[in-house]
Amino acid sequence: MKNNIIPAIRLTLVCLVFFCGFYTMAVWAVAQLAPGQGKGITVSENGKIHHINVGQSFTNDEYFWSRPSAVDYDAAGSGGSNYGPTNPDHLSEVEERITYFLEKNPEVDRSEIPSDLVTASGSGLDPHISVQAAKIQVNRIANAAGISADELNRLVEKHTEKPLLGLFGTERINVLKLNLEVEKSIRN
């Protein structure tokens, strides 16, 4: 038994030092090379700091709406609802979101609503929406904000991010960046 306990204790101590010390320092060092030094990417607008890589709630009619969040956009508690696609609670939430969206966007047909406007992401913090999700909101925003639909479509095109290396993912739009541009247009 002594032949097994001593090596197990040694291995435990080596793993403790490695994973609590060396590994942690290596991850910290790599984070220092990233934009924001591991604290996230921020932008300052009107004296307020916004985190670009964390989803935020936009519900006013003059802004592009974000993807819904199961965690109320709380970065400390990232997570999804964990409801399956046939769960009655999930279906009820999605139906409420569809009804609200159609109420605010009466010219849109139910079948045209992109899924990312009515379903939460796996993390609840997705800062992006699809290009289709942005374009379908243009008429509502134009009416509410007093900005022409052409100007809003130009902003959507300007903020469309291409897939990584042209291969990975789909075109998407960071809602915060787009809404900061909309806010500038409203003020002008």
pLDDT band at 48 (very low <50, low <70, confident <90, very high): confident
Backbone dihedral region for residue 79 (phi beyond 0: left; psi -120 to 50: alpha; all else: beta): left
Q: Do 171 and 161 touch, CB atoms closer than 8 A? A: yes
Give the pLDDT confidence of 97-142 residue by residue, as tens digits.
999 999 999 999 999 999 999 998 888 888 999 999 999 999 999 9
Mean pLDDT score of the chain, rounded to an integer? 88
169 and 123 in a common domain: yes
Q: Which domain holds residue 51?
A: 40-187
160 and 81 in a common domain: yes
143 and 57 in a common domain: yes
70 and 18 in a common domain: no
Domain total of the chain: 2
pLDDT band at 91 (very low <50, low <70, confident <90, very high): very high
Q: pTM value? A: 0.78
33 and 65 in a common domain: no
46 and 21 in a common domain: no
81 and 15 in a common domain: no
Give the pLDDT confidence of 1-13 residue by residue, as tens digits.
778 898 899 999 9
Residue 2 burial class via C-beta count within 10 angstroms: exposed 0-12, middle 13-18, buried 19 and up: exposed
68 and 10 in a common domain: no
Sheet strand arrangement including 128-130: 128-130, 172-174, 160-161
Mean pLDDT computed over 165-182: 90
Q: How far apart are CA 153 and CA 155, in angstroms?
A: 5
